[in-house]
Amino acid sequence: MKKREITQMIPVAMLIILMIAGSFLSANFLTVNNFSNILQYAVESAFIAIGMTFVLLIGEIDLSVGSVMAFASVIAAKMALAKQNIILILLVVLLIGLVCGIINGFIITQLRVEPFMGTLVMMMVMRACTFLFTGGGPLTGSVDASFKQIIKGNIANIPIGIWYVVIAFVIAYLVTAKTRFGRHVYAVGGGEETAKLFGVRVERIKMMVYAVSGILAALSGLLVTARIGIGEPRTGYDYEMTAITICVVGGVSMNGGKGGVQGTFIGLMVVSMIKNLMNLMNIDVNGQPIVTGIIILVTALVVTRKAKGSGRELVREI
């Protein structure tokens, strides 16, 4: 079994163990509509986790996704309450995501600010703008049903949320595995100097990655608005940390160049299942981060051990 398969097996093994344990612990865990329920409520985390996967693949980080999500959600709510047509709302949301992503990219690539600090600033600024826009409380009122259909409707009697998750991951997989942009993302993450040497425009790739992350965060903000029908400025607290958790559980390495969107999907399923299981078993939800935390440590320790087995080096690693 080649080394690469082993490292990708771990998240899958984690998933299977969880399913088996779940079926014992709660009778109606392993049912079709419970899983459709899990997938339906994982749409927002899925979009943000995919965006975060791209950023982690180039070896950097984006802390501003939670706040961008909230800002887009609040703007979309304002427009939806004013009964604007859905296409216009979608365009505005995409624009917000794009602009935030490009600002992030500009701060990091042109001003040479470290990704952690650059996106932390964006997080604080966007969160403040969100609350200043709504004046603190949520924007309430009645939203017409067709707007809610974005997340509530069914296509071929499968809830639309599941379609979003599946389509998003298929597109993301195609982009990372099959397009030149996707391969260059891995190249930048795997060896930036080498990539630059062979004509990969590293800075352009980074800008595009942050734009993708911003757009996906804004889209998930739109979905939240459709789901709850109001503009809640407190949306998206800690979503960036959850997204990083999902990616790391899925085997994406934070040094860049390793892991993939398929791992992130498994990570998403693992994390969502834990939350769902805890709700079903009526366990205090505060315990959930402990379980995910331990899973991360186990997968991370095992994955790094596996990578160590490469050839015999002369000088000892420190």
Partner 1 sequence: MKKKIAAVFIVVCMCIGMSACADSPEKNSDASSTEESSGDRETEAADGKYKIGFSQCVMNHPFRIAMVDSFKEVVGDYDDIESVVVEGNGDVQTEITNIESLIQQNCDAIVVSSLSGTSIYPAYKEVHDAGIPLIIAASGCATEEEDAYNFYDSFVSTDEVEMGIAAAQCANDLLEGKGNVVMIRGVVESTNSMNRYVGWNQEIPNYPGIKVIAEQSAEWLRLTANEVMANILQANDDIDLVYCENDEMALGALEAIRDADREDEMVIVSMDGQQDACEEIQNGGAFKVTITNNSDMKEAVSAAYAMAQGDSIDKRIILPYEIVTEDNVKDYIDKNY
Partner 2 sequence: MKNKNETRKIFFQENKNEISIAILVVILLIVSPMLSEFFLSSANILNLLRQTAYTAIAAIGMYFVILIGGIDLSIGSTIQIVGMASIIMLNHGYSMGITIVSILLLSVGCGLINGILVTIGKLQPFVVTLVMKEIMAGIVLITTGGASISGQSIPDSFMVIGTGYIGIVPIPVIIMILVFIIAFFVMKKMIYGRLLFVCGSNRRAAYNSGVNVCMIQISAYVLCSLCAAVSGLLIVARTGAFQPSTTGQGATGMEMNAIAAVVIGGATLAGGVGTVTGTMLGALLYGILANLFPLIGVSSYLQQLIQGLIILVAVIISVKDSQSIVQKMKVRLRKL
Partner 3 sequence: MGEQKREVVLELKGLKKVFGETTVLEDIDITFLKGEFHALVGENGAGKSTIIKTISGVHKPDGGQILLYGKKVKFNTPNDAQRAGISTLFQEIQEIPEMTVAENIFLGREPRRSGSVLINKKQLNQDAERIMEELGLSIDTTQRMCELPVSGRKMVEIARAVSQQASVVIMDEPTANLNAEEINALFRMIDALKEKKITVIYISHRMNEVFSLADRVTVLRDGKKIDTLDSNAYDEKSLISMMIGRELTEMYPKRQGEIGEVVLDVHNFSLDGFFQDISFQVHAGEVVGLAGLDSSGATAVTKALFGLCSKTRGEVFCGGRRLNIKNPLDSIRQKLAYLPEDRKTQGLFLNQNLIFNYTISSLWTRFSKMGVINNREEKERTEEVTKALKVKTKGLYSRPNELSGGNQQKVLLGRWMLDDYKVLILEEPTRGVDVGAKSEIYSQINQLAKKGVAVIIYSTEMMELLGMSDRILVFSTGQLTASLSKEEATQEKIMQYALVR
| 280 counts as binding partner 1 under rule CB under 8 A | yes
202's contact among partner 1, partner 2, partner 3, none, with CB below 5 to 8 A by partner kind, is: none
Tokens of 275: 């939350």
What residues numbered 282-311 form the site for partner 3, per CB under 8 A? 310-311
CA distance linking residue 94 with residue 8, whole number of Å: 33
Please choose, out of 37-45, 171-179, 227-235, 244-252, the segment that lies near partner 3 by the rule CB under 8 A.
Answer: 171-179
Residue among 209, 299, 289 nearest 248 (CA): 299
| 184 counts as binding partner 1 under rule CB under 8 A | no
What residues numbered 61-90 form the site for partner 1, per CB under 8 A? none
**Cα 304 vs. chain centroid, distance in angstroms?**
23
The residue behind tokens 């180039």 is 58
| 282 counts as binding partner 1 under rule CB under 8 A | yes
CA distance linking residue 6 with residue 299, whole number of Å: 12
Residue among 121, 84, 78 nearest 100 (CA): 121
Residues 198-236 as b or e (16 or more Cβ within 10 Å = b) = eebebeebbbbbbbbbbbbbbbbbbbbbbbbbbbbbebb
Which residue in 7, 26, 176, 245 binds partner 2 (CB under 8 A)?
A: 245
**Nearer residue to partner 2 within complex by CB, 40 or 67:** 67
**Nearer residue to partner 1 within complex by CB, 140 or 146:** 140
Report angle CA 232, 88, 210 to the nearest 5 degrees. Answer: 70
**Nearer residue to partner 3 within complex by CB, 189 or 267:** 189
Q: Taking the complex as a whole, how short is the minimal distance between the CB of residue 195 and partner 3, in angstroms?
A: 7
Q: Taking the complex as a whole, how short is the minimal distance between the CB of residue 99 and partner 2, in angstroms?
A: 17
Residues 6+ apart with CB under 8 A from 225: 73, 74, 76, 77, 80, 143, 231
What residues numbered 240-259 form the site for partner 1, per CB under 8 A? none
Residue-wise DSSP of 234-248? TTTTTHHHHHHHHHH
Please choose, out of 39-47, 144-152, 222-230, 282-290, the segment that lies near partner 2 by the rule CB under 8 A.
Answer: 282-290
Tokens of 316: 């000892």
180's contact among partner 2, partner 3, partner 1, none, with CB below 5 to 8 A by partner kind, is: partner 3
Q: Which residues bind partner 2 (CB under 8 A)?
A: 61, 107, 111-114, 116-118, 120-125, 127-129, 131-132, 136, 234, 237-238, 241, 244-245, 248, 254-255, 284, 286-290, 292-294, 296-297, 300-301, 304, 318
